[in-house]
Structure 1
């Protein structure tokens, strides 16, 4: 049992690190594509790497091997933004990074979480991470499904474009199509 638990934790950690790297790279490149200042792009890269750090505190509550998650698991997963913010807030990170982590699941139409912010109420860093995180999640293999190819992932995102700031989404698409 302990060996199985260790394998799950190692898988979760490796998966989260790889996901963070992908989101970090995409966020940095999207910021550059939007002609944001280099220091802002750097902050986007940091936020991208750390955006899901709160999930590491949830591994004992969420099995992660099934889809859809049961209602109790969804409740815990939605806490990861707050848990990540709390883990980082006294560690010297900028307010830009902290807000990006906390609000990265807010949808542009107001349907996201944790606070149902909409439009430009959502901090810029969070709006950028929202797009990059979605794409990274779609293009990564998950225990319950294979990874989608880039074109399929972008088409799926277009179907849910209400979730994204359109200017950011267009800049992001230019980044993906250049790769």
Structure 2
């Protein structure tokens, strides 16, 4: 960051993205456990969850430090590039195939209506199916500039209305995970926040 760029220009947005990554990471790990994946795979899911939106750094001009109105169609076209941009960055950094494919396809919907490749059903890698569910839930249960966070029950109801987007086996594992008492206590922790300080950005 340039020393002349005010930190307040993007601090709140970037901080929220980091916290969103933490939430998706934690939930993805728990869902992977519910699906009885091995510990190594669960840890890869946690890593993919933390990194899933890294491509947004390349389209930050459309996301951060701007008015909080709805994205225009032409802007959304560029924002939808973020999975591919994240994939390219993680490939450059030599992440595993499982992690980079999970990131690349985390906006694919089970019915084929997602992006970037309009994959459907079993064409979508398992890691991406898990991230899709976790990403949506984390977004719904977080405050947004245009609305307050939904409570867990309301968020799940909204997801059921769009269940065509999700792999049912993954969705059921997700529901089991969020109803475990240990997970509910962890998710509710108010201290799960990362803050960016000016010293850390120089």
TM-score above 0.5: yes
SS in 1 for 2:10: helix
Correspondence for 2:114: 112
Correspondence for 1:13: 14
Q: Which has the larger radius of gyration?
A: 2
Offset, 1:111: 0.3
Correspondence for 1:42: 43
Correspondence for 1:168: 170
Correspondence for 2:179: 177
SS in 2 for 1:112: coil
Correspondence for 2:61: 60
SS in 1 for 2:150: coil
Correspondence for 2:156: 154
Offset, 1:61: 2.7
- Relative to structure 1, is the Cα distance of residues 106 and 97 closer, same or farther in structure 2, using a 3 angstrom cutoff? same
Offset, 1:2: 4.7
Correspondence for 2:30: 29
Deviation by residue 1:144-172 (Cα, 9 ceiling, x = unmatched)? 11111111000000000000000000000
SS in 2 for 1:156: helix
Distance, in Å, in 1 between the alignment partners of 2:67 and 2:135 is 17
Give the paired residue count. Answer: 176
Gap runs ≥5 in structure 2: 185-202
Gap runs ≥5 in structure 1: none
TM-score when normalising by structure 1: 0.94
TM-score when normalising by structure 2: 0.84
Distance, in Å, in 2 between the alignment partners of 1:171 and 1:160 is 17
Provide the aligned C-alpha RMSD in A. Answer: 1.4
Distance, in Å, in 2 between the alignment partners of 1:99 and 1:10 is 29
Distance, in Å, in 2 between the alignment partners of 1:12 and 1:54 is 15
SS in 1 for 2:26: helix
Structure 1 runs of 4+ with >2 Å offset: 61-64
SS in 2 for 1:142: coil
Correspondence for 1:133: 135
Distance, in Å, in 2 between the alignment partners of 1:56 and 1:94 is 21
Offset, 1:99: 0.2
Distance, in Å, in 2 between the alignment partners of 1:96 and 1:2 is 37
Correspondence for 1:142: 144
Offset, 1:64: 6.3
